[in-house]
Amino acid sequence: MDNSEKKIGGENFYERMIKKKIHIYASVIIVFFMLSAGLGFVVYNMIAHGHPFGAKKEAAEPSADLVALSVQMAGQETPEADETPHTDLVRRAIDGVYVKPGEENRFPAAVMIDNNIYARPHSGLSRANVVYEAEVEGSATRYMAVFAGNEEIDEIGPVRSARAYFVDWVLELSALYVHVGGSPEALVNIKRDKVRDFNEFYNGNFFWRDWNRRAPHNVYTSSSKLAEYTTARSWAEGGFSSWQFKDEAGEADRGPDGGDIDIKFLIPSYRVRWKYDRTDNSYIRYLGGAAHIDKSGDGIKAKNIVIQYVKARVIDNELRLSMDDIGEGEAVLCFDGFCRKSTWQKKEASERTRFYDENGNEAVFNAGTTWVEVVRPGIIEVGLPEQTDGE
Percent of the chain surpassing pLDDT 90: 73
Task: Tell me, yes or no, if the pTM score tops 0.75.
Answer: yes
Q: Assess whether pLDDT exceeds 60 at residue 207.
A: yes
| Cis omega (within 30 of 0) for bond into 385 | no
* Section 155-171 average pLDDT: 98
Q: Assess whether pLDDT exceeds 70 at residue 319.
A: yes
* Section 302-315 average pLDDT: 97
Q: Assess whether pLDDT exceeds 60 at residue 9.
A: no
Percent of the chain surpassing pLDDT 70: 77
* Section 157-183 average pLDDT: 98
Buried b (16+ CB within 10 A) or exposed e, 71-105: eeeeeeeeeeeeeeeeeeeebbbbbbbebeeeebb
* Section 258-263 average pLDDT: 93
Cβ atoms within 10 Å of 28's Cβ, excluding its own? 10
Q: Assess whether pLDDT exceeds 70 at residue 66.
A: no
On whether the CB atoms of residues 292 and 117 are closer than 8 A, the answer is no
DSSP-derived secondary structure letter, 106: B
What integer pLDDT is reported at residue 218 of this predicted model? Answer: 98
Q: Strand 338-346 to strand 327-335: parallel, antiparallel, or no bridges (unpaired)?
A: antiparallel
What integer pLDDT is reported at residue 62 of this predicted model? Answer: 41
Record: fold of 244-383 = YerB-like fold (3.50.90)
Q: Is 281 left (phi over 0), alpha (psi -120 to 50) or beta?
A: left
Element (H, E) at 232: helix 223-232
Could you tell me the pLDDT band of residue 107, with boundaries at 50, 70 and 90? very high
Lowest mean pLDDT among 80-84, 106-110, 357-361: 80-84
CATH superfamily entry for domain 99-232:
YerB-like (3.50.90.10)
Q: Strand 370-375 to strand 130-135: parallel, antiparallel, or no bridges (unpaired)?
A: parallel
What integer pLDDT is reported at residue 125 of this predicted model? Answer: 98
Could you tell me the pLDDT band of residue 39, with boundaries at 50, 70 and 90? very low
> Which value, to the nearest 10 degrees, does the dihedral of the CA atoms of residues 321, 322, 325, 329 take?
-80
Give the integer Cα–Cα distance in Å for 283 and 361: 24
DSSP-derived secondary structure letter, 50: S
The tens digit of pLDDT for each residue in 324-379 reads 999 999 999 999 999 999 999 999 999 999 999 999 999 999 999 999 999 999 99
* Section 181-197 average pLDDT: 97
Residue ranges of alpha helices (H) inside 11-138 are 13-49, 64-73
What integer pLDDT is reported at residue 258 of this predicted model? Answer: 83
* Section 254-273 average pLDDT: 96
Nearest to 157 by CA among 209, 215, 219: 219
Instruction: Give the chain's mean pLDDT.
Output: 84
What integer pLDDT is reported at residue 386 of this predicted model? Answer: 80
DSSP-derived secondary structure letter, 85: P
What integer pLDDT is reported at residue 25 of this predicted model? Answer: 53
Give the integer Cα–Cα distance in Å for 357 and 343: 7
**Which of 259 and 270 is assigned the larger pLDDT?**
270
In sequence order, the 6+-apart residues with CB closer than 8 A to the CB of 334 are 261, 274, 276, 283, 304, 305, 306, 307, 340, 384, 385
**Which of 259 and 311 is assigned the larger pLDDT?**
311
Q: Assess whether pLDDT exceeds 70 at residue 302.
A: yes
Give the integer Cα–Cα distance in Å for 232 and 224: 12
- Same fold across 99-232 and 244-383: yes
Give the integer Cα–Cα distance in Å for 384 and 275: 11
Give the integer Cα–Cα distance in Å for 97 and 369: 9
Q: Assess whether pLDDT exceeds 50 at residue 89.
A: yes
* Section 260-271 average pLDDT: 98
Nearest to 155 by CA among 119, 179, 122: 122
What integer pLDDT is reported at residue 389 of this predicted model? Answer: 67
Nearest to 292 by CA among 82, 141, 187, 179: 141
Domain boundaries, the chain: 1-77, 99-232, 244-383
Give the integer Cα–Cα distance in Å for 318 and 336: 40
Q: Tally helices (H) and strands (E) across the chain.
A: 5, 26
| Cis omega (within 30 of 0) for bond into 268 | no
